[in-house]
Amino acid sequence: MTNLFLLQLLNGVQLGILLFLVAAGLTLIFGIMDFINIAHGVLYMVGAYLVATFAAMTGTFWLGLLIALPAVVAFGLFLEFFLFRRLYDRSHLDQVLATFGLMLILTEGVRMIWGSSPIFVPVPDALSGSIRLLGIINYPVYRIAIIAAGFAVAIGLYVLISHTRAGMLLRAGASNRPMVSALGVNITWLFAAVFAFGAMLAGFAGAMVAPVLSVDPGMGESVLILAFVVVVIGGIGSVKGAFVAAIVVGVVDTMGRTFGPILLQMVLDPSAASQTGRTLAPMLIYILMALVLAIRPSGLFGRRGAA
Instruction: List residues binding another protein (CB under 8 A).
Output: 30, 34, 36, 38, 83, 86-87, 90-94, 96-98, 100-105, 107-109, 111-112, 221, 225, 228-229, 231-232, 236, 275, 278-279, 281-283, 286, 289-290, 293-294, 297-298, 306-307
Q: Measured from the CB atom, is 127 or 293 closer to another protein?
A: 293
Taking the complex as a whole, the smallest distance from the CB of residue 35 to another protein amounts, in Å, to 9
* Cα(254)–Cα(273) distance, integer angstroms: 17
Which is closer to another protein, CB of 267 or CB of 307? 307
State the nearest-atom distance from the C-beta of 103 to another protein, in Å. Answer: 7
Q: Which CB atom, from 162 or from 222, has the smaller least distance to another protein? A: 222
Return the number of the residue (83 or 160) whose C-beta is nearest another protein.
Answer: 83
Q: Quick one: 67 or 280, whose CB is closer to another protein? A: 280
**Side-chain-side CA neighbours of residue 212 (13 Å):** 20
Q: How far is CA 254 from the centre of its chain?
A: 16
How large is the angle between the packed helices 239-264 and 284-295, nearest 10 degrees? Answer: 130
d(CA 7, CA 136): 10
Residue closer to another protein by CB (options 58, 265) is 265
Question: Of 98 and 210, which has the nearer Cβ to another protein?
Answer: 98
Least distance to another protein, CB of residue 297, Å: 4
Comparing CA positions, the residue from 208, 204, 222 lying closest to residue 143 is 208
Least CB distance from residue 77 to another protein, whole Å?
18
Is the Cβ of residue 92 or residue 162 nearer to another protein in the bound state? Answer: 92
In sequence order, the 6+-apart residues with CB closer than 8 A to the CB of 45 are: 107, 110, 206, 215, 217, 219, 220
3-state SS assignment for residue 215 = strand
Euclidean distance between CA atoms 11 and 236, whole angstroms: 26
- Would you tell me how many other CB atoms lie within 10 Å of the CB of residue 70? 12
CB of 76 to another protein, least distance (A): 17
Residues 6+ apart with CB under 8 A from 287: none
**H/E stretch holding 139:** strand 137-140
- Name the nearest CA neighbour of 25 among 13, 15, 16, 36: 36
Shortest separation between residue 41's beta carbon and another protein, angstroms: 11
Please give the Cα distance from 106 to 162 (Å, whole number).
34
Minimum CB–partner distance for residue 211 and another protein (Å): 26
In the complex, what is the shortest distance from the CB of residue 75 to another protein, in angstroms, rounded to a whole number? 16
β partners of residue 130: 140
